[in-house]
Structure 1
Amino acid sequence: MILGVGTDLANIERMERTLARFGDRFRNRVFTRAEQAKAEGRANVAGTYAKRWAAKEACSKALGTGLRMGIAWKDMSVANLATGQPVMHLTGWAAERLAAMTPPGHEAVVHVSLTDDHPWAQAFVVIEARPVAPPPA
C-alpha cells in the first residue's frame, strides 16, 4: 500500500547562486558529508545538490509534514547503490515519522527517483508499506 507521495522541482541555477553565496554554511546545514562528497566529485556539482535538495523536499511531503514538525534537512539523505540507483536514508525525526505512519505487520520502503534537465532538477518519492511475511510454521 502507498503511504505517501511527494515531488519537488529545483532550479539548478538558483542552487549555483546559493552555493556561491553561502558555501559551506549552506552545504553543512542541508547535506550530509556523504552527500557533499558525492556532489563535489561530480562534473555537475550544482545539479547534484539540486537533485538531492529536491529529494529531501519530496520526501518531507511524502512523510506528510513538509519541512516542519521537527524534520531536519540531514534527517533525509540520498545515497546511490552500486548500480547508480538513488536510495533515501531516514534518521532522527524523519525515521520516527516513517515508523509512526507504517501500519503494524508492514515494513516501509522509500522509493526515490531523480532527474535533471538544465536548469531543472526533479525528485519523486513514494513511501510504500509492504506486508512482513509471517515466520514459517
Structure 2
Amino acid sequence: MIIAIGSDLCNIERIQNSLNRFGERFEQRVFTEIERAKGNSRPFTKAGTLAKRFAAKEAFSKAVGTGFKRGVFMKDIGVVNARSGAPTLALTGGAAARLAAITPEGHEAVVHLTLTDDHPWAQAFVIIEARPK
C-alpha cells in the first residue's frame, strides 16, 4: 500500500548560483559524499545533477510530512543508485527515524524515486510503499 507521496521542482540555475556563491560550503552542508562525487563526475551538468538530488530531498521531506524539521536534515537523505541503476534513497538519522515512525507495524517501507531534468528545471517524485513483512 502507498503510505506517502512527495514531489518537488527545483530550479537548476538556483543551485548553480549557490555553487558559485558558497561553493564547497554549500555542497558539504546539503549533499552526501556519494552525491558530491556524482556531481563532480559530471562537470558540464553538475548543477543539474545536484538539483535533481536537492529536489529528491525536498520530495522525501514532504512525503514524510515534516519538511526539514523534527530532526530530518538534508544530509540524512542521500540519493544512491540501486544495482539496476535506478535511483533510490539511502536514509540515516532523523530521516530514517521518521520513515520508521510512519511505517505501519508488520510492514517494511520501500522508497520509490524518479528524477528528471530539463534545463532550467529538475524534478523528483517520491512514493513510499508499505509492504507486509
In the superposition, the TM-score normalised over structure 2's length comes to 0.96
CA distance in 2, matches of 1:83, 1:47: 22
After superposing on structure 2, the runs of 4+ consecutive aligned residues of structure 1 that deviate more than 2 Å are: 81-84
CA distance in 2, matches of 1:18, 1:47: 12
Provide the C-alpha distance between the structure 1 equivalents of 2:9 and 2:95, rounded to a whole number of angstroms: 21
Q: RMSD over aligned Cα, in angstroms? A: 0.9
> Do structure 1's residue 103 and structure 2's residue 104 form an aligned pair?
yes
Structure 2: distance between partners of 1:45 and 1:130:
35
* Counterpart Cα distance in 2 of 1:69 and 1:114: 26
Q: 2:5 aligned with 1:2, yes or no?
A: no
Please tell me whether Structure 1 or Structure 2 has the larger radius of gyration of its CA atoms: 1
Q: Which runs of 5+ in 2 are unaligned?
A: none
Identity of counterpart residues, as a percentage? 62
Other structure's SS at 1:98 match = helix
* Paired AA for residue 67 in structure 2: G
Alignment correspondent of 1:29: 29
Q: Distance in 1 between matches of 2:129 and 2:84?
A: 21
- For residues 30 and 112 of structure 2, what CA distance do their matches in structure 1 show? 20
Offset from partner CA, 1:93-129 (integer Å, 9 cap, x none): 1111111111111000011000000000000001110
Q: Secondary structure at the match of 1:103?
A: coil
Query: Residue 68 of structure 1: SS of its match in structure 2?
Result: coil
| Uncovered stretches (5+) of structure 1, i.e. residues with no partner | 133-137
The normalised TM-score by structure 1 is 0.93
